[in-house]
Structure 1
Amino acid sequence: MYDVFCSIQGLLKVDFVNTDNNIFRLHYRATMFILVAFSLLLTQKQYFGDPIDCIVEGVNSKIMDTYCWIHSTYTIPSLTGGVVGEEVPHPGIANPSLHGPDDQYEIKHHKYYQWVTLFLYFQAILFYVPRYLWKIWEGGKLEMLMIEMHAPILDDDDVIKERKAMLVDYFVANLHNNNVYAHRFFLCEVLNFINVIGQIYFTDRFLGYEFTTYGTRVLAFSEQEFGTRHDPMDEVFPKVTKCTFHQYGASGTVERHDGLCVLPLNILNEKIYIILWFWFIIVAVISGLGLLYRLATFHPAVRQIVLKTRSRMASMENVETVSRKCQIGDWFILYQLAKNMDPLIYSAFITDLAMRLQENSPADLGQ
């Protein structure tokens, strides 16, 4: 199992230049790592055995396993709560004819287990799409601006002063031309939120519209007294199911073989999806709060407060001067630089930038 996680540890590597934020990384790094790890775990037969094992008389067990894996198995949801050993042999498993008319019970077919591994991997790709778009749109701009600006001033004062002067010149020359850059990042944040909400309902449909209420039902089940509890996980992820195989007999008549199939992977699937239920909700809530924060930053006063918190070593007067001259795109560039630059260098940069902005007239600044 250690090999499984080692193979994907690269997904958690820290970038040299941080071009996004913690909420963004929660999607393309943490969530993607979780989904890929779960997908790989489900393929490890040495830990969890065969995905299906069927018991039936008169049919080769390997043929039965393959057939039931391909053509799905089924349970009777209304009998999931039956007393095991008295009313039913396993939750949701019974001969309907012994309990009443055949049409009295609705049969639920289970096909999802064929696709869980691929489905989780596909979800991981979707969580990476906004990150992929942002990498294309960002184009290494911040890394270019950050060359030799992350190290302490004492390393090479002359080089730092030269780079700082170039950065001030670049910023003044491109003042008010950074809004598209910022709006593209904001769009990716919106895409992250839309994606996680969509994934909740996508997963719900994949599991037969059982996912959105899955977590609440499991929580309610855990609070019930033992022996009187009806496990909702047996409905969504049954461990034993039925499968019917038809073949020709010696006389040419069609013979029916009813078999019981054990699904060992559902022990893992039920845990995976309860974790994902909580995780998706947590990510969705945090992303929603992040969007509210992003809306707030469209107000100049909020941007000034945020920039002050990121520029604690700089003069507040200089920060206010710079903030008043900046539009939201310019502010976003300054905020990104503050996260990556050495605080002392950033303080000196803000001081020089404030002096340059005060020297230039509004006409020179493109206002």
Structure 2
Amino acid sequence: MLDVIRSVKSLLKVSRVHIDNDVFRLHYTATCVILLAFCIVVTTKQYVGDPIDCVRSAEVPQSVINTYCWIHATYSVKSLMHLSHQKDVVYPGVGSRSSADSSPSDHKYHKYYQWVCFMLFFQATLFYIPRWLWKLWEGGKIQTLMMDLDVGMCGETERKHKKKLLVDYLVNSLRQHDWYVAKYFTCEFMAFANVVGQIFLMDKFFEGEFLTYGLEVIRFMDQGDEERLDPMVRIFPRVAKCQFYKFGHSGTIETHDAICILPLNIVNEKIYIFLWFWFIILSILTGFVVLQRVILTACPPVRVYLLNMRFRLVHYDHFHTVVRRGSLGDWFLIYMLGQNLDSMIFREVIADMAKRMTAEPKDSSSAA
């Protein structure tokens, strides 16, 4: 268990080199840690005890009925959902045999709880895939170009030499980084598609109950006690029914009714109400990022404005010159370098680039 916790904790380590933005990092750091932590919680018995505990007749061993009901799923009676502590009803959706002898279509089976831990782990893996793919495609480019220039305390000669190498590369490779930025934008779009897709995946997992889950919980708090049914109880019942079949002494099939307590659902309901709000917020934030990328692709002046807002020490005209001469890929590479280089060194790099770019036409005309 401690090894698992340590591996989860390693996801929170902040890298020295930033190759993406804050919202993208929320997908593969915070969200992955949250999902893996929830996965650990639902598999640890010390918090809620056994995941299922059934009350049964004396003829069926406890371990047998518990295992059977856990594997084959419990159910609630839909027509009894809005009734509680009334005649023949001991819990919403759970009644005596006379009240529960309804058609199979009136039974709502709860088949998901065996798979919650696996689903949480699968979701965490999906959230990490865009990061893994971008790290593979990026190939350490930013770290290589940094050349330890993120540390301002270095020798003057060494700094000038490294700065010249960086400026030479950026000027000589203008308009050659479009494929680089296209890969990153693809990973951001994958992250957006993943979080939206996972909302619908959870809705499918809970048989159409997840999309409106958070809204129903909010609405439940404003309703009167006599008319409201807790949606967390409906989707994650703490008590449900189970029917066990066995051969009797005469060879006929006997039906044994059992009432099962599902203490794990107390944890599940809190996990998924949190995930509902988290996924909604994350999808909105990522949607804004994707929209920003579309605007940046279509409107070059916005790139200058964004650089100027992010890096105040650099002169606006220098940014304007660099962005006007370069492409979207050059803008993205400069933006990433600005996040990693020392601010004073970055200002000097942009100034040298702008000077080189404005001087090149004059040099070429005089040579002619």
Q: Assess same fold via TM > 0.5.
A: yes
Contact 1:311 1:319 in 2 (8 A): no
Contact 2:94 2:239 in 1 (8 A): yes
Give the Cα separation in 2 of the matches to 1:233 and 1:340: 46
Deviates more, 1:278-287 or 1:101-110: 101-110
Aligned to 1:83: 84
1:58-85 Cα shifts (integer Å, max 9, x gaps)? 1000111111111111111231110224
Deviates more, 1:90-99 or 1:130-139: 90-99
Aligned to 2:233: 234
Aligned to 1:192: 191
Contact 1:75 1:242 in 2 (8 A): yes
1:241-272 Cα shifts (integer Å, max 9, x gaps)? 11111111222221111101110000000011
1:17-40 Cα shifts (integer Å, max 9, x gaps)? 000001101111111111111111
Aligned to 1:207: 206
Aligned to 2:10: 10
Aligned to 2:99: 98
Contact 1:4 1:37 in 2 (8 A): no
Give the Cα separation in 2 of the matches to 1:7 and 1:318: 44
Give the Cα separation in 1 of the matches to 2:3 and 2:44: 11
Cα offset for 1:362? 10
- Residue correspondence of structure 1 range 319-358 to structure 2 within 5 A: 319-358=319-358
Give the Cα separation in 2 of the matches to 1:255 and 1:362: 97
Letter in structure 1 aligned against 2:70: W
Give the Cα separation in 1 of the matches to 2:254 and 2:235: 30
Aligned to 1:217: 216
Identity %: 45
Aligned to 1:68: 69
Contact 1:338 1:346 in 2 (8 A): yes
SS of alignment partner, residue 155 of structure 1:
coil
Q: Does 1:156 align with 2:162?
A: no
Aligned to 1:263: 262
Cα offset for 1:105? 6.0
Letter in structure 2 aligned against 1:79: L
Aligned to 1:31: 31
Cα offset for 1:41? 0.5
Aligned to 1:302: 302
Aligned to 1:117: 117
Contact 1:80 1:234 in 2 (8 A): no
Cα offset for 1:16? 1.1
RMSD, aligned CA: 2.0
Give the Cα separation in 2 of the matches to 1:338 and 1:98: 69
SS of alignment partner, residue 257 of structure 2:
strand
Give the Cα separation in 1 of the matches to 2:94 and 2:54: 14
SS of alignment partner, residue 64 of structure 2:
helix
Aligned to 2:133: 133
Letter in structure 1 aligned against 2:31: T
Letter in structure 2 aligned against 1:93: V
- Runs of 5+ in structure 2 lacking a partner? none
Letter in structure 1 aligned against 2:187: C
Cα offset for 1:363? 11
Give the Cα separation in 2 of the matches to 1:214 and 1:329: 41
1:193-242 Cα shifts (integer Å, max 9, x gaps)? 11111000000000111000111111111112335421111211011111
Contact 1:78 1:105 in 2 (8 A): no
Q: How many matched pairs?
A: 362
1:163-184 Cα shifts (integer Å, max 9, x gaps)? 1100011111211000000011
Deviates more, 1:86-95 or 1:341-350: 86-95
- Residue correspondence of structure 1 range 238-257 to structure 2 within 5 A: 238-257=237-256
Aligned to 1:272: 271
- Structure 1: 4+ residue segments shifted above 4 A: 1-7
SS of alignment partner, residue 115 of structure 1:
helix
Give the Cα separation in 2 of the matches to 1:346 and 1:44: 50
Contact 1:4 1:41 in 2 (8 A): no
SS of alignment partner, residue 90 of structure 2:
coil
Letter in structure 2 aligned against 1:202: L
- Runs of 5+ in structure 1 lacking a partner? none
Letter in structure 1 aligned against 2:28: Y
Contact 2:56 2:257 in 1 (8 A): yes
